[in-house]
């Protein structure tokens, strides 16, 4: 009974509880070309049940590969599984549970948190945003079962930052997704404006100060990953280096913050303005095949399909459409076409994902990227894809229109 009640809590928190259980996986294609199946330009609109079905297939494959969620990740060396890559997967799993609740998924997520004693990654007292990323899923699971989840480690960690005099920790843009939603959710949960004010100070430093003049290019409405990529650094075609996944982290992070931040927050409209400005820039950079290039404004520099950045952009846009922040007629078609392109060309019959760039900091890292290539970590790409699918599934059964929330 408690599990059922917890699952209901997760669904209510996301404002879109799905009624489907264990969606049936569609039959696999008979054959797949070496570079992945081609996009079908005039494919039938995807139904919500189809989106949930593919999400289930991708997640089931991952869980089968990792039956013990607390097991270390070995990539050259053993890494504890509360590291940021796995934390992003659990963000995606939480999103899947919010639209298609299932007791086994909740049990898997709780087993992960239990295995780490609900501790953050890294050393005690860490201020590194990557180390704090696991707290996003801990907070989700706490909302479902507050008597089970121990928030004291993460709360102690965040409050130490809140009470400190410095706000210059986020020197790279990935931090906006890794930690900013933690501050937003904890601040709202505790009703403590000091936490959300600290969040604003950290965000403002990244945007306006880091690297000398900030990491946000206000003319391009895109972000440089860190100080190494600010001008005069340029891509081979002379354009600025706007890394797809880095910008995806910012875009998704802003969506995640805005999804919980009350309208009364004094900085909310500032975040909305940045999110909408980014949306316009990304709208103009989507490829004809529905993906975004790893180098957003240099299609010749490792250009081609890439799933993680594309997933994060679809996630943010779908959230924006559903929340009424973005115009449906302007962004709905991009959400439909881009998510459909990922389903058609990047998801293997067994649920493996192709076109996933491995960990890195720039377009050239983790290359080459292809349908059959595998990234160094197999978890965060799944998380990004599940995040995108969850928001797409909240839109009405037919592409291009939205259901009431």
DSSP 226: B
> What span, in angstroms and rounded, lies between the C-alpha atoms of 159 and 124?
13
Please tell me the predicted confidence (pLDDT) of residue 395. 87
Mean pLDDT of 103-119: 98
Please tell me the predicted confidence (pLDDT) of residue 397. 53
Tally of helices (H runs) and strands (E runs) in the chain: 15, 4
Please tell me the predicted confidence (pLDDT) of residue 41. 37
Q: 135-178: per-residue pLDDT in tens?
A: 999 999 999 999 999 999 999 999 999 999 999 999 999 999 99
Mean pLDDT of 252-272: 98
Mean pLDDT of 204-222: 98
The pTM score is 0.90
Q: Give bridge partners of residue 172 from the DSSP assignment.
A: 226
Q: Given a cut of 80, is residue 51 above it in pLDDT?
A: yes
* CATH code given to domain 2-16+47-394: 1.50.10.10
Q: Given a cut of 80, is residue 32 above it in pLDDT?
A: no
Q: How far does Cα 72 stand from its chain's mean position? A: 22
Alpha helices in 218-300 (DSSP H): 244-258, 268-283
Domains of the chain: which residue ranges? 2-16+47-394
Q: Given a cut of 60, is residue 38 above it in pLDDT?
A: no
Question: Minimal CA–CA distance to 256: which of 198, 316, 190, 307?
Answer: 316
Element (H, E) at 216: strand 216-217
Distance from first CA to last CA of the chain, Å, rounded?
A: 27
Mean pLDDT of 361-389: 97
Mean of the per-residue pLDDT values of the chain: 89
> What span, in angstroms and rounded, lies between the C-alpha atoms of 83 and 178?
11
């Amino acid at each position: 009974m408690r599990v059922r009640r917890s699952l209901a809590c997760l669904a209510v928190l996301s404002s879109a509880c799905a009624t489907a259980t264990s969606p049936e996986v569609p039959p696999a294609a008979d054959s797949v070309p070496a570079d992945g199946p081609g996009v079908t330009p005039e494919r039938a609109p995807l139904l919500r049940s189809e989106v949930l079905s593919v999400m289930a297939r991708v997640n089931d494959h991952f869980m089968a590969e990792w039956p013990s969620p607390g097991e270390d990740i070995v990539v050259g060396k053993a890494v504890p599984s509360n590291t940021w890559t796995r934390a992003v997967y659990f963000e995606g799993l939480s999103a899947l549970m919010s639209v298609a609740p299932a007791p086994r998924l909740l049990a898997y997520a709780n087993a992960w948190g239990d295995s780490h004693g609900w501790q953050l990654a890294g050393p005690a007292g860490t201020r590194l945003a990557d180390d704090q990323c696991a707290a996003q899923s801990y907070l989700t699971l706490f909302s479902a079962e507050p008597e089970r989840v121990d928030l004291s480690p993460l709360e102690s960690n965040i409050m130490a930052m809140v009470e400190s005099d410095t706000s210059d920790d986020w020197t790279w843009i990935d931090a906006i997704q890794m930690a900013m939603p933690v501050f937003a959710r904890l601040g709202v949960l505790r009703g403590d404006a000091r936490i959300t004010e600290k969040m604003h100070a950290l965000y403002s430093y990244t945007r306006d100060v880091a690297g000398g003049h900030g990491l946000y290019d206000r003319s391009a409405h895109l972000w440089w990953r860190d100080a190494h990529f600010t001008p005069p650094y340029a891509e081979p075609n002379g354009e600025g280096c706007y890394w797809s996944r880095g910008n995806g982290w910012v875009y998704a992070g802003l969506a995640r913050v805005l999804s919980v931040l009350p309208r009364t927050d004094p900085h909310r409209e500032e975040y909305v303005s940045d999110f909408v400005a980014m949306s316009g820039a990304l709208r103009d950079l989507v490829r004809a095949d529905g993906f975004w290039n790893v180098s957003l404004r240099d299609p010749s520099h490792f250009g081609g399909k890439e799933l993680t950045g594309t997933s994060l952009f679809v996630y943010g846009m779908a959230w924006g459409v559903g929340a009424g922040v973005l115009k449906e007629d302007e962004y709905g078609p991009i959400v439909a076409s881009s998510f459909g392109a990922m389903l058609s060309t990047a998801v293997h019959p067994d649920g493996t994902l192709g076109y996933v760039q491995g960990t890195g900091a720039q377009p050239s890292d983790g290359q080459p990227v292809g349908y059959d290539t595998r990234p160094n970590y197999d978890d965060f790409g799944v998380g990004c894809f599940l995040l995108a699918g969850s928001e797409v599934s909240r839109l009405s059964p037919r592409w291009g229109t939205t259901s009431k929330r």
